[in-house]
Amino acid sequence: MSDYELTEEQRMIRSSVRAIAEKYFKPKAAEVDKTRRPPVENIKILAEHGFTGTFIPEEYGGAGLKVLDNVLLVEEISRCCASTAILVGCTDGATPRTILHLGTEAQKRKYLPRVVKGELLCGWSLSEPNAGSDIGNIQCRAVKEGDNYVINGTKLWCSGAQVCGLFLVLVRLDATPGLKGVGALLVDRDTPGFSVGKHLDLIGFRGTGMAELVFENCRVPAENLLLPAGGMVKLLKVFNADRIATNPPVCLGIAQAAFEAAVAYSKERVQFGKPIAEQQGIQWKLADMAIDLEASRALLYRAAARVDSGHGTAIDASIAKTYCNEASRRVTDQAMQIFGAFGLSEEFPMERMFRDVRGMSVGYGTTEIQRNLIAKEILDGRYSA
């Protein structure tokens, strides 16, 4: 695996996080998947080593790390436990990033130091039964009443919902149709009228505490308004950095782990008197997997570096996400094929990796939506090689 001109500090981050993940997270990854239990203790371990809220500036207690630093962190954790990597998004993902870039000073002071300490996990709540990629169709409504907003509605697919203490909730703030009527509120877990609904059990990421959110005349202080109606353009710009730093490195980490396992197994598995690694068909699979991994890493690191240099664009995020999503599916699928029947068994990690990586092409904006965004940039003349 190449260093891609990483700095010495970045190589140290990668090495330190890998050691932590190998020691503490990997041994119980299968148990986390089987029991559907969010491994919150892993976040506490990361916090003890200074790896929570890492992008948050020093003035709020953080280390002020860059997007590429976050990519390295998430990638290494995903190699060992993908569910833990998703939970890392609750301290280094969309909600704390939005508070940092768009929140009031009071909101930053109230929440960000607790995020850095690993004391506060933050959920991101966008999707609804009839609104996922179509953000403009959000129905969950917040009505201003005096010094409060009263929220009514239901949200779905909220990662970390079972363990988060704070939620960024996208809501319809007025009757204006489409995105212009959508804004965002910060909702503390203990707010009256708010409850975390049933656990949503998917084929993968079973240890992420995903659940629905229910709002029944939930009264939120007006000071918790994070984004007024019509401010979605600002939020989407923040979301580009998060899209790079969360979803693609999770895919890359899982695929890297699947590749490493497949290489080791191909050397050990003997058929017809010799290791299957000596079969050209297996060698070509391994070569294709390595090509996908190297291309994914190059695209992702480049996209992150461009954000860090102030030159990041929406198309960078969309291209990196789409390629990493689809390449990781190819790699994990080939790894399962190399393992044969053992790849289908719960005794080996292949089937879990295959299940985990599949959903990433849906979450954070489907690959179809990403292609729409890429095509729009091309046709509007904003893309150049």
Residue 228 pLDDT more than 90? yes
Counted domains in the chain: 3
Average pLDDT, integer, range 326-354: 97
Residue percentage of the chain with pLDDT more than 70: 99
Same-domain status, 138 and 112: no
- Tell me, yes or no, whether 289 and 339 share the same domain: yes
**Pair (196, 179) in one structural domain:** yes
Q: Are residues 250 and 373 in the same domain?
A: yes
Q: Residue 270 is part of which domain span?
A: 246-379
Q: Which among 234, 235, 220, 242 is positioned nearest to 140, based on CA atoms? A: 220
User: Does residue 384 fall inside a structural domain?
Assistant: no
Q: One-letter amino acid identity for 63? A: A
pLDDT for the residue 282: 98
Backbone angles phi, psi at 163, to 5 degrees: -125, -5
Residue 2: inside a domain = no
Separation of alpha carbons 83 and 210, rounded Å: 10
Contact 121, 139 (CB under 8 A): no
Task: Find the helix packing angle between 232-245 and 247-268, rounded to 10°.
Answer: 20
- Residue that has been written with the tokens 């212009």 in this structure: 180
**Shared-domain flag, residues 268 and 358:** yes
385 within some domain:
no
Domain endpoint, select from 94, 120, 146: 120
pLDDT of 382 > 70? The answer is: yes
The dihedral built from the CA positions of residue 324, 327, 331 and 332, taken in this order, carries a sign that is positive
| Residues 91, 168 within the same domain | no
Residue 162 covered by a domain: yes
Residue after which a domain boundary falls, among 120, 146, 161: 120
CATH number at residue 360: 1.20.140.10
Q: How confident is the model at residue 3 (pLDDT cuts 50, 70, 90)?
A: low
Mean pLDDT rounded to a whole number for the chain: 95
Helices 247-268, 67-80: crossing angle, 10 deg rounding: 40
CA distance 128 to 125: 9
Whether residue 221 lies inside any domain: the answer is yes
pTM to 2 decimals? Answer: 0.96
Q: Are residues 375 and 273 in the same domain?
A: yes
- On whether both 74 and 49 belong to a single domain, the answer is yes
Residues 251 and 366 in one domain: yes
Whether 285 maps to a domain, the answer reads yes
Asked if residue 375 and residue 251 are part of one domain, the reply reads yes
Residue 175: CB atoms within 10 Å: 8
CATH number at residue 137: 2.40.110.10
For residue range 5-43, list pLDDT tens digits in order: 899 999 999 999 999 999 999 999 999 999 999 999 999
Is 368 part of any domain? yes
**Residue of 156, 230, 133, 142 lying closest to 186 (CA atoms):** 142
Asked if residue 253 and residue 128 are part of one domain, the reply reads no
CATH number for position 35: 1.10.540.10
Question: pLDDT digit string (tens) for 164-183?
Answer: 999 999 999 998 999 999 99
**d(Cα 256, Cα 253) in Å, to the nearest integer?**
5
* Last residue within a domain, chosen from 54, 86, 120: 120
Give the span between the Cα atoms of 327 and 304, in whole angstroms: 18
Give a yes or no: residue 274 inside a domain.
yes
Based on the domain organization, do 116 and 129 belong to the same domain? no
